[in-house]
Homo-oligomer: A and B are copies of this chain.
Amino acid sequence: MLLWAAVAVQAQEALWSGAEVASPVVGKDGTVEFNYVSQGAERVLVCGDFLPEIEVALPDGGKQKIRAAEMKKGDKGVWSYKTEPLKPELYSYTYMVDGERLLDPANIYVCRDVASLTNIFIVSLAPGDKGSLYSDNAVPRGNVSKVWYDSPTMKMQRRMSIYTPPGYEEGGRYPVLYLLHGAGGDEEAWLTLGRASRILDNLIAAGKAVPMIVVMPNGNITSKAAPGEWEAGMYAPSFDESLNFKIKPAATMDEGFKDIVAYVDGHYRTIKADSARAVCGLSMGGGHSFAIANRYPGDFDYIGLFSAGLRLDVPNDFSGYYECISANDSLKGRLAEVFDNVRLYWIGIGKDDFLYDQNAGLRRFLNDKGYRYEYVETDGGHIWRNWRVYLTQFVQLLF
């Protein structure tokens, strides 16, 4: 024991001010207590969208309203705050200590959203609730692989994440959901903030979704992979990576998508049929799903648009908006062919989403044409909280 006590002491020193406290402490009633150790700090806030709005002073003398709560200093320099009971959900937060934003040193669980890291925690009050659905449970678990594939169309090697369901290793053939991220995201996004592998594990275990392969490609057509995973190195990610219209890629996401399907059908035990293929995505990925459906009408029997950003390819040209997927008029009119073949065309969006009007326009167009789709409208805006819900609902309707 002496031997290993020495290791522990070395590690403890490396922790600096962390880890003397537990934080966050999620109570069985849904309350959450945050603890932070600082002798010298004068003001400590915990910040997150689950907290009430308060006013903070800006360095330039102005004021700003943020969702946050004052932490109170107690014994031994421990600052604490305990919330009201929170609903089951995955939550993000950070601290603000004397005006400096920082992560909770006692909480190693962080997610990246575009260019910033935040701490996360999950509130779950009962089996089967939203928090439980996003959590790791004692159920059979799928495997997740990071796979490099060749895209002759995009003229590069590209990276994607692939979830195979529990039981896949034992044999059989499986349907495939292609699950696309939004602008600023990448092939990691649905697995981290999206909790896709947990949602699938839990729904499959509950018999609410059929075992399926889930393919999460990188949808940034001027990148090969997530930041820090390819030869561009450790750059600072930004929306530009997804939406830099100045760089001319070899092809659009929908044009290159056939290479992804070919790789997956060639390397995994898939059911190679339209009826066993779904595509859905959030924001930019919703636009990609829309375009992919139009480019390959009939190849995907299930289409899902989550807070979709439509018409990505030609942002300044809104003529023929809903009917074609690019300035190339030869693809005009494909939507009729899509709706001749599709089993499910699913549209979800939040009431406060800045893309609400654009999706309302699409729905009016589909209504006028008599095309049948399912529509889910939720509270809230352009946020992961909604996208996790849409994924949960959508996968239960598949295959």
Total interface residues in chain A, CB < 8 Å: 88
The residue in chain B whose Cβ has the minimal distance to the Cβ of A232 is B136
The residue in chain B whose Cβ has the minimal distance to the Cβ of A263 is B169
The residue in chain B whose Cβ has the minimal distance to the Cβ of A266 is B169
Residues of B within 8 Å of A141, CB to CB, are 148, 157, 159
CB of A236 within 8 A of CB of B106, answer: yes
Residues of B within 8 Å of A237, CB to CB, are 108
- For the complex formed by this chain, how many copies does it contain in all? 2
A165 to chain B, nearest CB (A): 11
- The reply to whether the CB of A7 lies closer than 8 angstroms to some CB of chain B is yes
- The reply to whether the CB of A316 lies closer than 8 angstroms to some CB of chain B is yes
- The reply to whether the CB of A54 lies closer than 8 angstroms to some CB of chain B is no
Bound together, the chains give a CA A41 to CA B239 distance in angstroms of 29
Residues of B within 8 Å of A39, CB to CB, are 59-60, 99
CB of A116 within 8 A of CB of B229, answer: no
The segment out of A10-18, A252-260, A292-300, A332-340 that lies at the interface is A10-18
Bound together, the chains give a CA A231 to CA B139 distance in angstroms of 9
The residue in chain B whose Cβ has the minimal distance to the Cβ of A99 is B40
Q: Determine which of B109, B145, B183 lies in contact with A145 in the assembled complex, contact meaning CB atoms within 8 Å.
A: B145
Bound together, the chains give a CA A275 to CA B51 distance in angstroms of 60
Give A contacts to B, CB under 8 Å.
1-4, 6-8, 10-11, 14-19, 22, 38-41, 59-60, 77, 94, 97-103, 105-110, 112-117, 120-122, 135-138, 140-148, 157, 159, 166, 169, 183-184, 227-234, 236-239, 243, 245, 267, 283, 309, 315-316, 354-355, 358, 382
